[in-house]
Homo-oligomer: A and B are copies of this chain.
Amino acid sequence: MAPARPLLWRSLRVFQIYGANTDVGKTVFATILSRAAKGIRHGERSAFLKPVSTGPLDDADDRHVEKHAPGVVRKTLFQYDTPVSPHVAARGKEIPLDSELLSAIYDFSSQRAAEGAGWLFIETAGGVHSPGPSGVTQADLYAALRCPVVLVADSKLGGISLTISAFESLKIRGYDVEAVLAFRDDKHDNAEFLRAYFAKHHGPLVASLPKPPPLLPNANGDADAELMSRYYQETSGNAETLRVLDELDRSHRARIERLESMPGEAHRRIWYPFTQHQLLTPGDIVAIDGARGDFFQTLAPPLPRTGDNGGTQVQPVLRPSFDGSASWWTQGLGHGNPSLALAAAYAAGRYGHVMFAGAVHEPALALARTLLDNSGNPRLTRVFYSDDGSTGVEVAVKMALRAARRRYGWSASAEVGVIGLRGGYHGDTIGAMDCAEPSAFNETVEWYSGRGIWLDYPRVKCIRGWWAIEMPTDAGRELGEDRMFGTLDQVFDLERRELERDHEVYESYIEKRLSRHVGEGRKFGALLMEPVVIGAGGMELVDPLFQRSLVKVVRRSAKLFDPLHKPEAADTADNTSWTGLPVIFDEVFTGLYRLGRFSAASFLGAGAEPDISVHAKLLTGGLVPLSATLASESVFAAFGGSEKADALLHGHSYTAHPVGCHVAVESLRQMRDMEARGEWDWAKRGGDQTSSLGGLSLSPSPGEERVWSIWPEDLPDWISHQTRLVAGTWALGSVLAIHMDAPDGLGYKSNAALNLQRTLRDGGDGGAWNVHSRVLGNVLYLMGSQKTTQEDIAEIANLVRRAFSRRSANRKSPSPKAS
């Protein structure tokens, strides 16, 4: 794996020179800056790099630098002879992979940094969006380098426009433009306009320098060279040039100071969620400079200082860290995704926010359409927007409880609870917290009171190579022995399991439990659960057949929940009406391709679709909060009436904010396109190999999709054999969960997985990159985005294996270094 490594060293100031257009003088400014930089501090070096050059070698920009900035180290990495755009010039030639190009830039820069204090100017080719050799435009290609920019303005007629647009294209990709440089031109004083423009918009410094002398008509080359030489001598000593270098130096130092001071300042000013601050030191806080794709760019911990200064200076300030929790389960399409950034900006520019009562805008409607049309659930017809998963669940509960209360004629003061699964967790607002049973997450919270009952359930794990269904202990022998399957597909083959009557024991168990609670006088208004995976409650894979059975039992009869109820025709007006209780699926974590499918409800099979479903997190691909609660018409009807107070009394100011809705439309489109194009086929194919047990795999029924994961198929199997450390593991969609065998007890407060987490944090390639992961008690999980590549997953899987091997080795022969 070679994630792009950001270019930041303490002693080396690196700037990327972009042009507002081709032929605006990038090389002239690069020559001036690199020449001037060499001289300003004693002993400091200056270097020039042209990653990709087109045109004859003799005209190459580094030759110009060699001639006019003697003593400046210079290099061209890839040279193509034809003077056209690199993507055209490279046709038929050797084309470096983008990652190779970035790697070569890093290596050259790193060597310069190793040589001591100095400067490096990297000149791009053409304009900001001129394509690189692979065809990816430079602004995208180089963004992961996190290199600050010197933008060379176009000083000609029309150049104001080009310069502002180039600036905006860079900003959209998170570039920090530190200076705009222009030639002075009396006719089109673009610099004057740009200075005022950027000052008004709190933009970069704008500086202007004299134009190079025109070539003399009919003069010989020597006279031209003499003029140019004088020009460079003058401009590189010019006060304006020195002012620019000063500013660049200042911004470089300020950036590093900010990065280094951030953990301390955060420790003083920020109140972190779910964090015991008394256990938090500034050293525990990771300073994040930026993020791209699946990687954060984080402040690297300092290497131990030695007497040899030269050695320590080489250490880069930043390193890539794989975002192993997909930033708390939000990132689907990679950090810094330019399409999502542009989508956000478009909606912001077109609308800002517009109030969403008695009004409608296109993004809200388009998103509603997309969600309803792709849910695969014939019940859902309505979309209610709120701000996040927690509010989305509160909305869902308000919907369901009202529907149930109205049908069963319960009074407004009746205590009505939810039916859920043990450990299920739905958010941190009080109403969402109340849907979870008491636990370390909520039991100390004022105003929390668990409102409902929570059934224990059978869990699925890979153990010693078998896919086991572990029956809950509090079910006693009611559910029989644990079950073993050869593949996860077999566990999810519900049709076959129902043919084998596996569900009957579940249904009778569930019905008995529910009857008992109702018999005790309890009232319930909803079945609320996360389909397939209990997320925050411990990353448990639930036997899908159990959940299917639960839905079926709940739907079967109104009498179960109100023995006195007299069914009315309206209760079951059509086959999309809710029966028994409204069923809510909290798909905030599990939905929208997290587990490989648009909706996780589909794992439970036809007939088990929810009446209400809640979506958030991946909905906006990892950009801004937004939630959608989908409901059926029969739930919706429960709020009809002539009184406004009968309406669903919920609404946020930013309800259906266009930025979120439009970004969500774009995110879902991208993910659906990826699915349609088969971009996850490599992962799906992983499931074609038979498991290590061999021979037990069943082909899925025709037309039915297998369950699949981006994690190598043999990884859960391998991990599950680390039996001294691991209780069980599973992988599905983008998630890998490792349940450690925790001698200090299971549960949220456990520290069992922390050692594995530390090994991942120390990283691979001698710390050149690492993995930022999260633990939930004794569970360490790793989660990719929907864009994570097969190569990256393979490398991380290897790191996981190495971590286990090291830990196993340590266990065998404990040494003072093991920790």
Contacts and interface: CB of A to CB of B under 8 A. Distances in A.
A652 interface: yes
A759 interface: no
Interface string A334-366: 111111111011111111111111111110110
Contact of A402 (B364, B387, B446): B446
A531 interface: no
Contacts of A639: 276-277
Interface in A149-168: 157-158, 160-166, 168
Given A158-B21, A429-B390, A188 B276 contact: no
Interface in A575-627: 616-617, 621-625
A643 interface: yes
A438 to B, nearest CB: 11
Given A416-B446, A446-B398, A749-B645, A652 B273 contact: yes
B187 A84 contact: yes
Interface stretch (A169-177, A498-506, A727-735, A800-808): A169-177
A195 to B, nearest CB: 13
Contact of A354 (B291, B388, B401, B631): B291
A144 to B, nearest CB: 11
Contacts of A644: 274, 276, 279, 440, 748-749
A349 B172 contact: yes
Contacts of A137: 160-161, 164, 197
Given A162-B127, A446-B405, A640 B390 contact: no
A741 to B, nearest CB: 21
A285 B358 contact: yes
Interface stretch (A216-224, A463-471, A653-661): A653-661
A786 interface: no
A128 to B, nearest CB: 6
A227 to B, nearest CB: 26
Nearest to A280: B358
A616 to B, nearest CB: 8
A642 interface: yes
A272 B357 contact: yes
A394 interface: yes
A352 B327 contact: yes
Task: Give the interface size bracket for A toward B.
Answer: 35 or more
Nearest to A202: B669
Nearest to A647: B276
B631 A271 contact: yes
A126 interface: yes
Contact of A525 (B389, B445, B446): B446
A61 interface: no
A275 B362 CA distance: 20
Q: Could you tell me the dominant secondary structure of chain A's interface residues?
A: mixed
A88 interface: yes
Interface string A178-218: 00000000011100010001000110000000000000000
A331, A356, A430 interface centre (most CB from chain B within 10 Å): A430
A143 interface: yes
B650 A274 contact: yes
Nearest to A324: B355
A433 to B, nearest CB: 8
Contacts of A749: 643-645
Interface stretch (A241-249, A262-270, A306-314): A262-270
B323 A335 contact: no
A338 B328 contact: no
A430 B394 contact: yes
Contact of A640 (B84, B277, B353, B643): B277
Interface in A653-699: 653-655, 657, 659-660, 669
A192 B672 CA distance: 26
Nearest to A352: B335
Given A131-B160, A441-B649, A446-B525, A288 B359 contact: yes
Contacts of A549: none
B394 A429 contact: yes
A561 interface: no
B351 A334 contact: no
Contacts of A16: none
A133 interface: no
A712 B263 CA distance: 48
B335 A351 contact: yes
Nearest to A451: B447
B428 A650 contact: yes
Nearest to A24: B158
A337 B655 CA distance: 19
A4 to B, nearest CB: 14
Given A276-B647, A625-B660, 7 more contacts: A84-B187, A173-B350, A174-B347, A291-B354, A344-B344, A444-B649, A623-B657
7 contacts: A127-B162, A169-B169, A269-B381, A277-B636, A278-B642, A387-B388, A442-B649
Shortest beta-carbon contacts, A-B, top 3: A273-B651, A174-B350, A127-B161
